[in-house]
Amino acid sequence: MNVVFVVPRFYPYPGGYEKYVLGLARGLLAAGNTTSVITTNAFDLEYFWLSRFRSLPAGQETYDDIEIMRLPISHDRWRRRASRLLGLLPSWQLKAQFAPPSFRVIGIREALKKVSADIIHIGPLPYNRMMYEGFREARRRGIRVVVTPCTHFGEEKNDKVSRYYTQEFQMSLLKQCDQTFALTRAERQRLIDLGIPPDKVAFTSAGIDPAEVTGGNAKAFCRKYGIRDAIVLHLGMKAPDKGSICVVEAMKRLWKENVRASLILAGPSLQSFDEYLQNQSSQLPRLLNLGLVSEEEKRDALAAASVVVQPSRVESLGFAYLEAWANGKPVIAADMAVTRELITHGTDGLLVPFGESHALAAAILNVIDDPTGSEKMGLRGLQRVHSEFSYEAITNRIMPYFTGRSTPIQETRTI
């Protein structure tokens, strides 16, 4: 069986969805299938819309026996502005292609026509246009199309996040797919509430390979950067919605109280966070902003960390939590339906309200001041990674949806 993944970014970008697709592709290969990835040449998130940010070379390559085709993004702003008008029309197909935050991928339809495919996997939201192109090609061929939307619902008390992931045309697209994979039970229920038929939404979760994120050298990391204090690690994309600013503000509170702890920021960042940080430098004596790090240095940082703090409101599961647990580290997350399902407060981590730096500071201090209790939380998380969130466990759960007998495909008119 030939499985094609249509995704906005892929390896070597180190994001959670990219890791998820890489894990699925590896599992499918191990089961005797072939896999291809059609993606863009974007590296930085902003490159989808602005050419001055980082990108990768367009073209074809192979990684771990996965065939990858990277296609260039068009940054023609006048064409993009004109196409936005089509997104105002009532057709869900047109909205899926042209409503914000759409971007044009040069040659994607031709690439999809050429690739061998028995099933096409699309996602995540809100990258509607790429999802639609994968859906359109599957329907043209009369083959199955499955989707992992990675829906971000954010906080229950407002729709600042969810409104970009739950628009009517987006739900219309999911309804037309043959199967939707939800990473949490909370996501599955919310999608059903939004009108996706229950038999089309499967809770599949996601997993990691602990061997890939463990085995780091804590002493070498501390020696390299001259750190002798407890380490608070913020791992992954640095952005306001990821809680990155709140993390810095929480640490500023602790430093004012003479708490001896260092904050390590490791991962790419949005320009908005970089601008915030530039205005804070004189107030951050114990902050180390590493940017994007190698896998080896990431393992070292995880080994050295006292706690991994990821108070994000844009998570569908949270790979950083799993990677921290794989290293036996406690985690602190924002209190939302998704994280409440994953993390049991006080048992394997702590939950705090999103954006409340005083509550986050108190939680960090709780962990630092109670090493015995923190170790117990980390070890409980470690047990869960091996029992619930391994690649093997997730692959076994999701594989039947790829390899099982497909149901008849109803023809759908596409534009």
Predicted pLDDT of residue 251: 96
Per residue in 245-262, pLDDT tens? Answer: 999 999 999 999 999 999
Residue 32 has pLDDT above 80, yes or no: yes
Establish how many alpha carbons lie within 13 A of residue 34's alpha carbon, considering only the half-sphere containing its beta carbon: 10
Per residue in 150-187, pLDDT tens? Answer: 999 999 888 999 999 999 999 999 999 999 999 999 99
> If you write DSSP's letter for every residue of 39-88 in order, what string do you get?
EESB-SGGGGT-TTS-B---EEEEETTEEEEEEPBP--HHHHHHHHHHTT
Q: Work out the average pLDDT over 99-109.
A: 94
Predicted pLDDT of residue 408: 37
Q: Work out the average pLDDT over 377-406.
A: 84
Predicted pLDDT of residue 404: 61
Question: Confidence class of residue 406 from pLDDT cuts 50, 70 and 90?
Answer: very low
Let me know if residue 409 belongs to a domain.
no
Let me know if residue 413 belongs to a domain.
no
Same domain membership, residue 237 and residue 140: no
Q: Work out the average pLDDT over 36-41.
A: 98
- 232 exposure class (CB count in 10 Å sphere: 0-12, 13-18, 19+): buried
Question: Confidence class of residue 37 from pLDDT cuts 50, 70 and 90?
Answer: very high
Let me know if residue 411 belongs to a domain.
no
Question: Confidence class of residue 302 from pLDDT cuts 50, 70 and 90?
Answer: very high
- The edge-to-edge listing of strands for the beta sheet with 119-122 is 59-63, 66-71, 34-40, 2-6, 119-122, 144-147, 179-182, 201-203
Check which CATH number belongs to the domain holding 280 and give it: 3.40.50.2000
Question: Confidence class of residue 412 from pLDDT cuts 50, 70 and 90?
Answer: very low
Residues 6+ apart with CB under 8 A from 400: none
* CA atoms of 331 and 325, how far apart (whole Å): 8
CA 402 to chain centre: 21
Per residue in 257-290, pLDDT tens? Answer: 999 999 999 999 999 999 999 988 667 889 999 9
Residue 414 has pLDDT above 70, yes or no: no
The mean pLDDT value of the chain amounts to 93
Quote the domain boundaries for residue 216. 210-389
Count structural domains, the chain: 2
Same domain membership, residue 55 and residue 188: yes
Residues 6+ apart with CB under 8 A from 100: 84, 87
CA 94 to chain centre: 26
Same domain membership, residue 290 and residue 173: no
The residue with greater pLDDT, 389 or 72, is 72
Q: Work out the average pLDDT over 15-30.
A: 92
Residue 364 has pLDDT above 60, yes or no: yes
Let me know if residue 182 belongs to a domain.
yes
Let me know if residue 246 belongs to a domain.
yes
- Compute CA distances 403 → 22, 146, 160, 365, whole Å: 17, 12, 38, 48
Same domain membership, residue 195 and residue 268: no
Same domain membership, residue 297 and residue 169: no
* CA atoms of 66 and 81, how far apart (whole Å): 35
Same domain membership, residue 177 and residue 239: no
Let me know if residue 140 belongs to a domain.
yes
Same domain membership, residue 277 and residue 143: no
Q: Beta strand pairing status for 59-63 and 66-71?
A: antiparallel
Same domain membership, residue 378 and residue 231: yes
Give me the residues paired with residue 189 across strands: none
Same domain membership, residue 25 and residue 166: yes
Same domain membership, residue 222 and residue 100: no
* CA atoms of 87 and 77, how far apart (whole Å): 15
Yes or no: say if 299 and 229 are a contact pair by the CB < 8 Å rule.
Answer: no
Let me know if residue 408 belongs to a domain.
no
Let me know if residue 119 belongs to a domain.
yes
Predicted pLDDT of residue 120: 98
Question: Confidence class of residue 85 from pLDDT cuts 50, 70 and 90?
Answer: confident
Same domain membership, residue 10 and residue 145: yes
Same domain membership, residue 217 and residue 163: no
* CA atoms of 136 and 362, how far apart (whole Å): 50
Residue 379 has pLDDT above 60, yes or no: yes
